[in-house]
Amino acid sequence: MRIERLSDNKVMLSVTFEELRKKGCLKKHILEDSFIWHEIFDDMLDAIEEQLDIDTEGMIAIEIHSMAEHELVLILTIEQLDLYSDFSDWPTEQIEAYECEHTFKFQDIEHVIGLVHDDQRVRQLSSTLYYFKDAYYACFTFDYESQYDDFDPVLMEYGSYSSLSNDMLNEYAIPVIRSDAMRKMFTYFVNPSS
């Protein structure tokens, strides 16, 4: 498999049919959009994340560039989260009134527990916790203008921004705690006597 970055959000992915056959995927599985193809495609996205350090969890447009006799070439356009550009054109008074939703990805539940243990302010935020594709996702709602600088550093210490929305996670992920997730995590795992 060959991975090549074409631009900030475009990647070319080349894989031979021999490589796909070794993983149990035939050409018909790709054309039928089968479960086998989805599993292999998820592995390819993981490889892109690892090699190019691109978050592949947002919306992805897939273009089949070529499907030659021996090789499949895909062009992936990945929509990434750019928090600052979302607000750059807004008048300041609109930003101040906007309750901003942020989604963070945590590789392990221990990272979530570490977060709620170390920063009590996070426990006060409106939050939801989900499990999706071997990771935990927390959706936080807070005022962008007054609270972003306070929470961004501590959240980035334990997790990373994710482009997955609360709506998408609500639809496809397993809800772990639906409301006041950080406060409940603290109560359950850090201070069970409270």
Check residue 38 and give its pLDDT.
81
* Residues contacting 83, CB < 8 A, separation 6+: 102, 161
Q: What is the pLDDT of residues 49-70, one digit of tens each?
A: 888 887 777 778 888 777 777 8
Check residue 146 and give its pLDDT.
66
Check residue 92 and give its pLDDT.
44
Which residues does the chain have with pLDDT short of 50?
81-100
| Long-range CB contacts for residues 52-58, cutoff 8 Å, separation at least 24 | 52/3, 52/5, 52/11, 54/5, 54/9, 54/11, 54/78, 54/80, 55/80, 55/81, 55/160, 55/161, 55/162, 55/163, 57/105, 57/162, 57/163, 57/164, 58/163, 58/164
Check residue 155 and give its pLDDT.
81
Q: What is the pLDDT of residues 154-187, one digit of tens each?
A: 888 898 888 787 778 888 889 999 889 999 999 9
Check residue 112 and give its pLDDT.
93
